[in-house]
Amino acid sequence: MSVDPLFQPYTLKHLTLKNRLMITSHEPAYPEDGMPKERYRAYHVERAKAGVALTMTAGSASVSRDSPPVFNNILAWKDEVVGWMRALTDECHDHDCAVMIQLTHLGRRTRWDKADWLPVVSASHEREPSHKAFPKKAEDWDIARIIEDYADAAERMKEAGLDGIEIQSYGHLMDQFWSPLTNDLDGPYGGSLDNRLRFTFDTLRAIRKKVGDDFIVGIRYTGDECLPGGLNKDEGMEISRRLKDSGMVDFLNVVRGHIDTDAGLTDLIPVQGMKSAAHLDFAGEIRAETNFPTFHAAKIQDVATARHAIASGKLDMVGMTRAHMADPHIVAKILRGEEERIRPCVGANYCLDRIYQGGMALCLHNPSTGRELEQPHEIPEAEEARRIVVIGAGPAGLEAARVAAERGHQVIVHEAANDPGGQVRLTALTPRRQEMISLIDWRFQECTRMGVTFHFNSFADEEMVRAESPDVVIVATGGLPHTEVLGEGNELVVSAWDILSGDVQPGLNVLVYDDAGDYAGLQAAEKIAGAGAKIEIMTRDRSFASEVMAMSLTPSMRELQKRDVTFTVTWRLDAVRREGNSLLATVGSDYGGVMRERQVDQVVVNHGTRPLDDIYFELRPGSSNLGEVDHEAFIDGRPQEVVRNAEGDYQLFRIGDAIAARNTHAAIYDALRLVTAL
């Protein structure tokens, strides 16, 4: 038997979990019509197959019609869910992976205009800052019907063959009853702690009545809201003890904090640049106090920390949730002795941020996640080995090289800089975004392991490429900042990348004009503000940093709001003129009829990149496809067979920002889709 603490089986009631690694509940927004169908199933089965012991499915599966999904959640109030959950559970069970589901009523954490236009309901009229719906204060008949809804949903999950359920109780209806900040009911459900907990225990009793004593029932809850006037740690401990003593709960899944604001949610689920394992000690304190099965997840993204969480006795089961989105095969890799080959979660939070913008959860640097059906994680070997030249070693080029090498091709990479990484290397210069470099390091390490040849400081031209006699050439040269957006004075401005790279020193009184709205503008502003400058960040949009999603914005705001920084929306930079030692900026508005001026000593423009495509156009005439891509084949994962020039010596493709400015996920996905079919 393994001596690794992570591989000690764990017994929970009658259930034996084969190791200590779990995926905590997270809704990736993959349901179709509110049901976990093929895409959903494939996502969980991929991770079950690779050896995770327990997968907590859904995330906030809805038990009632007045808890409409906020991010495409499973509708656990429909009987139809039983068949879909049974199919998912059976297939995970085939791989010895236990399956549970998180059930909830969102309370005020949703909107009334999401589904059936029923009023949102809570234990007070206080609205949640994030979702902004003013709730109805629950009446006795609301409470009675919602308790029954929980019990019915639990019964459906038992019928579907699941191993258990957990009730969500942080930021949702259950703990909206708990917290003095969100419960102003009179008795019997408001007032004293006993009363505020009554809804929970009534619900648990109703659930037990339907599912019996053997079915596993747990609760995922906050043990400390970390909010003035909210539920504090002492009350959290008291609640933990009472949950255990109730005899109705089989495990505690602990979180710490509150989720009613973007910043609160980000502290509860830390992102890139924030502390790893931030709440592990707290969860350990609850385990020590209760001596009861304790689960927990919050930025435990590496195996060593997970192992420590178990070995130190802080947890019984450790969640590595985003880590499994980045690499579904963590357990298999540990078991094969290939821990160093695990694709690291870099905390970019693209996955979680996207669901709040109506998209499905995608991993920034693993495009197969959520696309298991059409884009398998395991790259098939090619029938015939080819010679592939990749130009550029940014994320797109490295992914192309990695996938080509996995397919057994011979791969040569030319990179003009002396290191791999492209724009990501610049991004990672900002201390709080350092983790980004891991997505480059991991690819470079994989490429090196598979024998890819790298030429650094190598500015490829046609002669050099032809000398390699390639079958395929992939241009992944990325882009260069584009700042020529002004009617006058383009030569007087600098780019966000100039600031980030250190090529230009920050000024003292700076206008950052950011109409790309991506990270580069914010990161440049952080660097300039950090140097002590006064900054105005201006955009013509209705909101600033429109491409940086909610949780990712949090650490940045914390940096900027400490400094001398103002934000101006709906104003457009039109021109810059020199005036003595300073610059005079003229600003207008898309709404028309107004003009203002700003006197500054530096203007920084962030307006995305333009493709660096000279080499592509140089190589085009000599290629067989003249650079043309068959989009249908590209989308369907079929080989590219376009021939436009029978005399051509090689196929030619471009990927990533070398085509048009997009993001890291798009660049990597381009590479994966193209090369998997080469």
Judged by CB under 6 A, the residue of 17, 19, 25, 66 near ligand FMN is 25
Judged by CB under 6 A, the residue of 6, 22, 27, 219 near ligand FMN is 27
Site string for ligand SF4, 304-343 (x = CB under 6 A): ------------------x--xx-----------------
Judged by CB under 6 A, the residue of 300, 388, 465, 548 near ligand FMN is 300
> Nearest Cα to 192, choosing from 183, 200, 201?
183
- The site partner of 269 among ligand SF4, ligand FMN, none (C-beta below 5 to 8 Å per kind) is ligand FMN
> Nearest Cα to 367, choosing from 355, 377, 359?
377
Verify binding: residue 666, ligand SF4, rule CB under 6 A: no
Which residues, in sequence order, are bridge partners of residue 55? Answer: 23, 99
Verify binding: residue 483, ligand FMN, rule CB under 6 A: no
Verify binding: residue 243, ligand SF4, rule CB under 6 A: no
Verify binding: residue 29, ligand SF4, rule CB under 6 A: no
Q: Does residue 60 come out as left (phi exceeding 0), alpha (psi in the -120 to 50 range) or beta?
A: left
Binding residues for ligand SF4, how many (CB under 6 A)? 13
Verify binding: residue 348, ligand SF4, rule CB under 6 A: yes
- The site partner of 342 among ligand FMN, ligand SF4, none (C-beta below 5 to 8 Å per kind) is none
- Residue 526, Cβ neighbours under 10 Å: how many? 24
Return the DSSP state at 236: H
The amino acid sitting at 185 is L
Whichever of 45 and 345 has its CB closer to ligand SF4, that residue is 345
Whichever of 320 and 615 has its CB closer to ligand SF4, that residue is 320
Half-sphere exposure of 159 (CA within 13 A, CB side): 15
Give min distance, CB of 351 to ligand SF4, in A. 3
Whichever of 36 and 319 has its CB closer to ligand FMN, that residue is 319
Whichever of 124 and 321 has its CB closer to ligand FMN, that residue is 321
Tell me how far CA of residue 636 lies from CA of 6, 363, 445, 677, in angstroms.
Answer: 39, 20, 29, 9
State how far the Cα of 671 lies from the Cα of 497, in Å rounded to an integer.
24
Give min distance, CB of 327 to ligand SF4, in A. 9
Site for ligand FMN in 188-217 (CB under 6 A): none
Whichever of 98 and 364 has its CB closer to ligand SF4, that residue is 364
- Lookup result for tokens 């979702």: 131
Give min distance, CB of 188 to ligand FMN, in A. 28
- Lookup result for tokens 């990484």: 421
Verify binding: residue 53, ligand FMN, rule CB under 6 A: no
Verify binding: residue 269, ligand FMN, rule CB under 6 A: yes
Which alpha helices (H) appear in 419-547, and where do they start and end? 423-427, 437-449, 462-467, 496-501, 519-530
Distance in angstroms between the alpha carbons of the first and the last residue of the chain: 43
Verify binding: residue 168, ligand FMN, rule CB under 6 A: yes
State how far the Cα of 44 lies from the Cα of 56, in Å rounded to an integer.
9
Verify binding: residue 352, ligand FMN, rule CB under 6 A: yes
Judged by CB under 6 A, the residue of 19, 60, 169, 438 near ligand FMN is 60
Site string for ligand SF4, 362-391 (x = CB under 6 A): -xxx--------------------------
**Which residues have C-beta within 8 Å of that of residue 355, sequence separation ≥ 6?**
27, 28, 29, 71, 72, 361
**What DSSP letter does each residue of 1-41 carry, written as one string?**
----GGGS-EEETTEEESSSEEE-----S--BTTB--HHHH
Whichever of 208 and 299 has its CB closer to ligand FMN, that residue is 299
Verify binding: residue 297, ligand FMN, rule CB under 6 A: yes
State how far the Cα of 375 lies from the Cα of 379, in Å rounded to an integer.
9
Site for ligand SF4 in 209-238 (CB under 6 A): none
Verify binding: residue 355, ligand FMN, rule CB under 6 A: yes
* Under 8 Å between Cβ of 416 and 457: yes
State how far the Cα of 403 lies from the Cα of 675, in Å rounded to an integer.
6
Residues of this chain that bind ligand FMN (CB under 6 A): 24-28, 59-60, 102, 168, 220, 269, 297-300, 319-323, 351-352, 355, 361
Residues of this chain that bind ligand SF4 (CB under 6 A): 322, 325-326, 345-351, 363-365
